[in-house]
Structure 1
Amino acid sequence: MFLIIPIVILYALKLLEVSFMEQVSWWWINGFAFAAFIWFEFLERMLGLDKRKDDMHHKKMQDERLKRNFKESKKK
Protein backbone atom coordinates (compact mmCIF):
# COMPACT_ATOMS: atom_id res chain seq x y z
CA MET A 1 0.00 0.00 0.00
CA PHE A 2 2.85 2.33 0.75
CA LEU A 3 3.71 2.37 -2.97
CA ILE A 4 0.25 2.28 -4.52
CA ILE A 5 -1.24 5.39 -2.90
CA PRO A 6 1.55 7.78 -4.01
CA ILE A 7 1.41 6.36 -7.55
CA VAL A 8 -2.35 6.95 -7.75
CA ILE A 9 -1.84 10.49 -6.45
CA LEU A 10 0.90 11.10 -9.04
CA TYR A 11 -1.36 9.86 -11.84
CA ALA A 12 -4.20 12.10 -10.65
CA LEU A 13 -1.93 15.15 -10.39
CA LYS A 14 -0.54 14.50 -13.86
CA LEU A 15 -3.99 14.05 -15.41
CA LEU A 16 -5.25 17.22 -13.74
CA GLU A 17 -2.07 19.03 -14.85
CA VAL A 18 -1.28 20.50 -11.45
CA SER A 19 1.47 23.14 -11.65
CA PHE A 20 4.70 21.18 -11.17
CA MET A 21 3.32 17.94 -12.59
CA GLU A 22 2.85 19.45 -16.05
CA GLN A 23 6.59 19.30 -16.56
CA VAL A 24 7.09 15.78 -15.24
CA SER A 25 7.27 13.13 -17.92
CA TRP A 26 4.87 10.19 -17.96
CA TRP A 27 7.95 7.97 -18.03
CA TRP A 28 8.74 8.85 -14.42
CA ILE A 29 5.27 8.03 -13.18
CA ASN A 30 5.08 4.81 -15.20
CA GLY A 31 8.57 3.95 -13.94
CA PHE A 32 7.36 4.21 -10.35
CA ALA A 33 4.36 2.03 -11.20
CA PHE A 34 6.66 -0.54 -12.82
CA ALA A 35 8.93 -0.50 -9.75
CA ALA A 36 5.89 -1.18 -7.53
CA PHE A 37 4.88 -4.05 -9.81
CA ILE A 38 8.36 -5.58 -9.60
CA TRP A 39 8.34 -5.17 -5.80
CA PHE A 40 4.97 -6.85 -5.25
CA GLU A 41 5.39 -9.60 -7.83
CA PHE A 42 9.01 -10.65 -7.32
CA LEU A 43 11.01 -9.00 -4.55
CA GLU A 44 8.42 -9.40 -1.81
CA ARG A 45 8.17 -13.13 -2.56
CA MET A 46 11.94 -13.55 -2.74
CA LEU A 47 12.37 -11.88 0.65
CA GLY A 48 9.54 -13.93 2.16
CA LEU A 49 7.59 -10.89 3.27
CA ASP A 50 4.28 -12.19 1.97
CA LYS A 51 4.55 -15.40 3.98
CA ARG A 52 5.64 -13.53 7.09
CA LYS A 53 2.54 -11.33 6.96
CA ASP A 54 0.29 -14.36 6.55
CA ASP A 55 2.00 -16.16 9.42
CA MET A 56 1.64 -13.15 11.71
CA HIS A 57 -2.06 -12.84 10.82
CA HIS A 58 -2.74 -16.52 11.53
CA LYS A 59 -0.77 -16.37 14.78
CA LYS A 60 -2.86 -13.38 15.91
CA MET A 61 -6.10 -15.19 15.07
CA GLN A 62 -4.92 -18.27 16.96
CA ASP A 63 -3.98 -16.23 20.05
CA GLU A 64 -7.38 -14.49 20.07
CA ARG A 65 -9.18 -17.83 19.78
CA LEU A 66 -7.13 -19.30 22.64
CA LYS A 67 -7.86 -16.31 24.88
CA ARG A 68 -11.58 -16.47 24.07
CA ASN A 69 -11.74 -20.23 24.74
CA PHE A 70 -9.76 -19.88 27.95
CA LYS A 71 -12.16 -17.21 29.24
CA GLU A 72 -15.16 -19.39 28.37
CA SER A 73 -13.69 -22.44 30.13
CA LYS A 74 -12.95 -20.35 33.23
CA LYS A 75 -16.60 -19.31 33.47
CA LYS A 76 -17.78 -22.91 33.63
Structure 2
Amino acid sequence: MLFLGLGILLLALKYFEFGPVAEWSWWLVLSPFALAVVWWAWADWSGYTKRKAVEREEVRKKARIDKQREQLGLGTKKPGRR
Protein backbone atom coordinates (compact mmCIF):
# COMPACT_ATOMS: atom_id res chain seq x y z
CA MET A 1 0.00 0.00 0.00
CA LEU A 2 2.96 2.27 0.61
CA PHE A 3 4.07 1.96 -3.02
CA LEU A 4 0.58 2.78 -4.24
CA GLY A 5 0.33 5.89 -2.05
CA LEU A 6 3.77 7.05 -3.12
CA GLY A 7 2.86 6.48 -6.77
CA ILE A 8 -0.33 8.54 -6.47
CA LEU A 9 1.54 11.35 -4.72
CA LEU A 10 4.30 11.43 -7.36
CA LEU A 11 1.73 11.25 -10.16
CA ALA A 12 -0.14 14.24 -8.74
CA LEU A 13 3.07 16.23 -8.28
CA LYS A 14 4.13 15.48 -11.86
CA TYR A 15 0.69 16.24 -13.32
CA PHE A 16 0.41 19.60 -11.55
CA GLU A 17 4.11 20.33 -12.27
CA PHE A 18 4.94 20.93 -8.64
CA GLY A 19 8.50 21.13 -7.35
CA PRO A 20 11.41 19.11 -8.72
CA VAL A 21 9.10 16.18 -9.57
CA ALA A 22 7.85 18.19 -12.57
CA GLU A 23 11.22 17.66 -14.27
CA TRP A 24 11.52 13.97 -13.48
CA SER A 25 11.07 11.33 -16.14
CA TRP A 26 7.66 9.64 -16.36
CA TRP A 27 9.41 6.30 -15.86
CA LEU A 28 10.66 7.41 -12.48
CA VAL A 29 7.27 8.84 -11.48
CA LEU A 30 5.39 5.66 -12.45
CA SER A 31 7.93 3.21 -10.99
CA PRO A 32 6.16 2.91 -7.57
CA PHE A 33 3.15 1.41 -9.37
CA ALA A 34 5.40 -1.26 -10.90
CA LEU A 35 6.90 -1.93 -7.47
CA ALA A 36 3.38 -2.32 -6.03
CA VAL A 37 2.54 -4.92 -8.69
CA VAL A 38 5.77 -6.80 -7.96
CA TRP A 39 5.06 -6.69 -4.20
CA TRP A 40 1.50 -8.00 -4.61
CA ALA A 41 2.66 -10.76 -6.94
CA TRP A 42 5.36 -11.83 -4.48
CA ALA A 43 2.97 -11.66 -1.50
CA ASP A 44 0.49 -13.93 -3.25
CA TRP A 45 3.14 -16.31 -4.58
CA SER A 46 4.93 -16.69 -1.24
CA GLY A 47 1.78 -17.17 0.83
CA TYR A 48 2.37 -13.98 2.81
CA THR A 49 -1.16 -12.72 2.12
CA LYS A 50 -2.79 -15.97 3.21
CA ARG A 51 -0.60 -16.22 6.31
CA LYS A 52 -1.60 -12.70 7.41
CA ALA A 53 -5.29 -13.46 6.79
CA VAL A 54 -5.05 -16.61 8.93
CA GLU A 55 -3.31 -14.66 11.71
CA ARG A 56 -6.10 -12.04 11.70
CA GLU A 57 -8.73 -14.80 11.86
CA GLU A 58 -6.96 -16.45 14.80
CA VAL A 59 -6.88 -13.15 16.71
CA ARG A 60 -10.59 -12.59 16.04
CA LYS A 61 -11.40 -16.17 17.07
CA LYS A 62 -9.44 -15.87 20.33
CA ALA A 63 -11.10 -12.53 21.14
CA ARG A 64 -14.55 -14.03 20.49
CA ILE A 65 -13.82 -17.05 22.71
CA ASP A 66 -12.41 -14.85 25.49
CA LYS A 67 -15.47 -12.59 25.33
CA GLN A 68 -17.81 -15.57 25.58
CA ARG A 69 -15.87 -17.01 28.52
CA GLU A 70 -16.03 -13.64 30.24
CA GLN A 71 -19.79 -13.42 29.69
CA LEU A 72 -20.23 -16.88 31.16
CA GLY A 73 -18.17 -15.90 34.18
CA LEU A 74 -15.45 -18.42 33.49
CA GLY A 75 -12.64 -15.92 33.01
CA THR A 76 -9.87 -16.43 30.49
CA LYS A 77 -7.88 -19.62 30.30
CA LYS A 78 -4.33 -19.27 31.56
CA PRO A 79 -1.54 -21.00 29.62
CA GLY A 80 -0.24 -24.18 31.23
CA ARG A 81 -3.34 -24.62 33.36
CA ARG A 82 -6.06 -27.19 32.85
| TM-score clears 0.5 | yes
When normalised by structure 2's length, the TM-score is 0.80
When normalised by structure 1's length, the TM-score is 0.86
Q: How does 1:11-22 map to 2 (within 5 A)?
A: 11-22=11-22
Indicate the residue corresponding to 2:29 in structure 1.
29
Matched residues, percent identical?
A: 22
Q: Deviations over 1:20-50 (max 9, x none)?
A: 011101111222211211211x211122110
Q: Tell me which protein shows more helix as a share of its residues.
A: 1
Gaps of 5+ in 2: 75-82
CA contact (8 A) 2:7 2:29 kept: yes
Q: How many residues align?
A: 74
Indicate the residue corresponding to 1:2 in structure 2.
2
Larger Rg: 2
Q: State the alpha-carbon separation in 1 of the partners of residues 63 and 5 from structure 2.
A: 31
Q: How does 1:33-72 map to 2 (within 5 A)?
A: 33-40=33-40, 42-72=41-71
Q: Secondary structure in 2 aligned to 1:17?
A: coil
Deviation, structure 1 residue 60: 0.9
